[in-house]
A and B are shown apart, each in its own frame.
Chain A
Amino acid sequence: MADTLVMERAARPARLARMGAGLRRIGKSRAFVIGAVLFAFICLAATIGPLFTSVSPNALAIRSRFQPPSMEFWLGTDNLGRSVLSRVLWGARLSLGIGFAVVLINAAFGVLLGALAGYYRKLDNILMRVADALMAFPAVLLAIGIASALGPSAVTAIVALSVVYVPRTARVVRASVLVVRELDYVHAARACGATDRRIVMKHILPNCMAPLIVQLSFVFAYAILSEAVLSFLGLGAPPTVPSWGVLISEGRAYMREAAWLTIVPGAAIAITVLGLNLLGDGLRDVLDPRMKVEQG
Chain B
Amino acid sequence: MIGYTVSRLLQTIPILILVSLIAFGIIYLIPGDAATVIGGPSATAEDLARIRANLGLDQPLLAQIGHFYVNLLQGDLGRSLMLGIPVTDAVIARSPITISIALYSLVLTIVLGLSTGIVAALNHNRWIDQAATVFALIGVSLPNFWLALVMIVLFSVHLGWLPTGGYVPFTTDPIGWLRTATLPALSLAMLQAGLLTRITRSTMLEVLRQDYIRTARAKGVPEWVVITRHALANTLMPVVTVLGLILSVLLSGSIVIETIFNVPGIGSLLGNAISNRDYPMIQGGLLFVTAALLLLNLVVDILYTWLDPRIRVGGSA
CB of B35 to closest CB in A, whole Å: 13
Contact B152 A255 (CB under 8 A): yes
Contact B251 A145 (CB under 8 A): no
Contact indicator per residue, chain B 107-137, by CB within 8 Å of chain A (1) or not (0): 0000000000000000011000000010001
* Residues A246-279 near B (CB distance < 8 A): 248, 252, 255-256, 259, 262-263, 266, 269-270, 273-274, 277-278
- B274 interface contact, C-beta 8 A: yes
Q: A133-B18, A295-B206 are contacts. A144–B143 as well, Cβ < 8 Å?
A: no
Contact B205 A262 (CB under 8 A): no
A139 to B29, CA, bound (A): 18
* Residues B1-54 near A (CB distance < 8 A): 14-15, 18-19, 21-23, 26-27, 29-31, 37
Contact partner of B253 (CB less than 8 A), chosen from A129, A140, A148, is A140
- A293 interface contact, C-beta 8 A: yes
Contact A233 B294 (CB under 8 A): no
Q: Which of the segments A9-17, A59-67, A114-122, A224-232 contacts the partner chain?
A: A224-232
Contact partner of B255 (CB less than 8 A), chosen from A144, A151, A234, is A144
Contact B141 A149 (CB under 8 A): no
A136 to B297, CA, bound (A): 10
Nearest chain A residue, comparing its CB with the CB of B20: A133
Q: A141-B286, A274-B137, A294-B198 are contacts. A133–B22 as well, Cβ < 8 Å?
A: yes
- B98 interface contact, C-beta 8 A: no
- A37 interface contact, C-beta 8 A: no
Q: Do most interface residues of chain A lie in helix, strand or loop, or is the interface mixed? A: helix
> Which residues from chain A contact B37 at a C-beta distance below 8 Å?
151
Contact A137 B198 (CB under 8 A): no
Nearest chain B residue, comparing its CB with the CB of A257: B157
- B270 interface contact, C-beta 8 A: yes
- B142 interface contact, C-beta 8 A: yes
Contact B202 A266 (CB under 8 A): no
Q: Which of the segments B83-91, B181-189, B275-283 contacts the partner chain?
A: B275-283
Contact partner of B143 (CB less than 8 A), chosen from A133, A259, A269, is A269
- B290 interface contact, C-beta 8 A: yes
> Which residues from chain B contact A139 at a C-beta distance below 8 Å?
248-249, 252
Contact A146 B29 (CB under 8 A): yes
Contact A138 B31 (CB under 8 A): no
CB of A79 to closest CB in B, whole Å: 16
> Which residues from chain B contact A262 at a C-beta distance below 8 Å?
146, 149-150, 153
Count how many pairs of residues, one from A and one from B, have CB atoms less than 8 Å apart in the complex.
147
Q: A138-B289, A138-B293, A266-B149 are contacts. A132–B15 as well, Cβ < 8 Å?
A: yes
Contact B206 A259 (CB under 8 A): no
Contact A151 B31 (CB under 8 A): yes
A129 to B138, CA, bound (A): 34
> Which residues from chain B contact A270 at a C-beta distance below 8 Å?
138, 141-143, 146
CB of B54 to closest CB in A, whole Å: 17
Contact partner of A133 (CB less than 8 A), chosen from B15, B141, B152, B198, is B15
CB of A156 to closest CB in B, whole Å: 10
Contact indicator per residue, chain B 256-277, by CB within 8 Å of chain A (1) or not (0): 1001100000000011001101
> Which residues from chain A contact B19 at a C-beta distance below 8 Å?
133, 136-137
Interface residue tally for chain A (C-beta within 8 Å) = 46
Contact B251 A138 (CB under 8 A): yes
Contact indicator per residue, chain A 140-162, by CB within 8 Å of chain B (1) or not (0): 11101110111100000000000
- B140 interface contact, C-beta 8 A: yes
Contact B141 A221 (CB under 8 A): yes
> Which residues from chain B contact A235 at a C-beta distance below 8 Å?
274
- B199 interface contact, C-beta 8 A: yes
- A45 interface contact, C-beta 8 A: no
Contact B141 A277 (CB under 8 A): yes
Q: A269-B143, A294-B201 are contacts. A146–B149 as well, Cβ < 8 Å?
A: no
30 contacts between A and B (CB under 8 A): A129-B18, A130-B18, A132-B18, A136-B290, A136-B294, A137-B286, A138-B249, A138-B251, A140-B253, A141-B255, A148-B277, A148-B282, A149-B30, A149-B282, A150-B31, A232-B256, A233-B255, A248-B143, A266-B143, A266-B146, A266-B149, A269-B146, A270-B143, A273-B143, A274-B141, A277-B137, A278-B137, A294-B201, A294-B205, A295-B202
Given A278-B137, A294-B198, 8 more pairs with CB closer than 8 A: A137-B22, A141-B255, A229-B143, A232-B145, A262-B153, A263-B150, A266-B150, A277-B141
- What 6 A-B pairs have minimum CB-CB distances, sorted nearest first? A133-B18, A266-B146, A138-B252, A149-B29, A274-B141, A140-B252
